[in-house]
Each structure stands twice: as C-alpha cells, then as structure tokens.
Amino acid sequence: MLPQNWKQLTRNLSFQVVCFLGLVILLSGCAGTRPGATFTKRPFNFQTDTFAFSNELVWEYQYDEHGKWTSHPRQPPPDYSHHCFVVARSARQFFEHARFDPAAPLADAATYRRLIRAVVARDASHVTPDAERIVVPGYADLRSFSAAQGALLKSECGGAWQSYFQRGHWRMIMPFSRHYEERMAAQFQADLKADHPPVVHLVRFPRITINHAVVLFDAVTTDKEIDFATYDPNNPQQPGVLIYDRAKRTFQFPANNYFPGGRVDVYEVYRDWRY
C-alpha cells in the first residue's frame, strides 16, 4: 500500500532526478567539444612555451660540512616566490588557449593585461579551438612575451595564495600506493602522446621536504625507467627530469638547488574538478 504522501514523494524524487541529470548534462557539455571545431595540436616546446622568469626561492639550500641538508633565508628576499603552481598552470593555459602573432604591432600595457587575464581565466583542463584562441600580438611565443612583459604576467597570472590553496592539495594526505604511481606514469605518457602536457604535484607528506609543481613535456622510455622531461618554474633556464623506476614503481626527483633528491609522490593537477 502506498503512503498517503506518495505524490509528494514522487514529485520530490522527480525533481532530484531532473536536477541530477541537468548537472550531468552541464558537466558533459563543459567537457565536450563543439562540432566542427578545429584543434591544431603540437608538442610543448621548452624553448618557446615557458616563462623567461623564475619562481624565486625564499630559502637557500645546501649541504654543510657534515653532509646535512641545511637552509637559510635568501638575502635579499625574493620579489616573486611561492608561485610554482601559478607559473606551471599559466604555462599550460597559454599553451592550450593562446596564439602568438609576431607580425602584429605591439600593444599597450592595458591590452596585454586584458589578454593575460582572459587566458588565465580559462579552464586549465580544457583546450581552446584554433578559431577561439586568444591572440597575443607583437611576440612570437610565451618565452619572448614573458621576457618583455614579465612584470605584467607576474601581477596578472595569479597570487601566491593560489599555490597554497590549489584544489588538488587534498590528495597529498592520502596514501600513494605503487599501483597508483604506476597508473600515474601511464597517464602522463598518454597525456604527452596527445600533446597535452600534464602539470604534476611533487610532494612528500607528512614531512614536507618538497611541495612543488612542474610541467611534463616529453618522455623517454627504457626497460628500467621512464625519464619525463620537466619544465620547472624554479629553474626556467634548462629542462629537468622526473624519473619513474619501472621495477620499484616509484618516482625519483634528482637533487637540485632546493631539493636533496630522492623519492617523491606524484599526481596530476588541473586535470578535472577534483584536482
């Protein structure tokens, strides 16, 4: 026998189902592409698709006479720091959403400010069709644009708080199994094959010896490992490497001027609504 309020229950259930289906359609629409849209894909180029300036270090790191990894505040204090996630994300946004036109006349600061804001306002997990890309006049690529307009880019790409409150940070407190890291390595390879350079979070938790973001743009596979070439916002002068050990199913990040080297936990960010 149906309850006396079955009509109201039915209406409530129908409303919830309609809302759920509407949300699914909305999300699917955001993830989909428009019919007839043209996408010209190419590999990420370290020499042209990266920023000329660096995310500066607040601390200077070194080994002391006893071989202990030590640090002390950098002097003078840096002007632009704690922006590694912002820089990595913005590099991918310019790669996926912008087009540079060196033949066009140089624009004024107000125009470039507007264009930068438009690029970084777009979803970092999506790709813009060719016809809808934001055109940056007067420069051949992001490297030359950032060399000339570094102050504007630093002020408009996002504040340091966006690195602290990146939506995927919740993942670092969860366990990283060897199976998960194996899946990440395969996912990175698939992204690179599709010319979609992944932004990845390198972390050791709960002891935060590293909490950093880099962009992967190439991979070399051998029987023993996969060497992922990296654009490191801290070191824009030359590519770095993130090594995946196939037997141990772990990632290794070599020693540099801010990390003593060793195993890191890795996952992709700016991929979907969870990360």
Asked if pLDDT for residue 34 goes beyond 90, the answer is no
The pLDDT-based confidence of 152 (bands split at 50, 70, 90) is: very high
The pLDDT-based confidence of 39 (bands split at 50, 70, 90) is: confident
Identify whether the C-beta of residue 101 lies closer than 8 Å to the C-beta of residue 134: no
pTM over 0.95: no
CA distance 199 to 224: 24
CA distance 244 to 219: 10
Mean pLDDT of 114-139: 96
pLDDT digit string (tens) for 138-149?
A: 999 999 999 999
Strand, coil or helix: what is 253?
A: strand
Six token digits for residue 97: 């959403």
Give the pLDDT score at 250.
97
Average pLDDT, the chain: 87
Reduced to 3 DSSP states, what percent helix, strand and coil does the chain have, rounded to the nearest 5?
35, 25, 40
Mean pLDDT of 117-135: 96
Asked if pLDDT for residue 15 goes beyond 80, the answer is no
Mean pLDDT of 159-164: 90
Per-domain boundaries in the chain:
59-163, 168-269
Give the pLDDT score at 18.
41
Give the pLDDT score at 23.
43
pLDDT digit string (tens) for 171-227?
A: 888 999 999 999 999 999 999 999 999 999 999 988 888 999 999 999 999 999 999
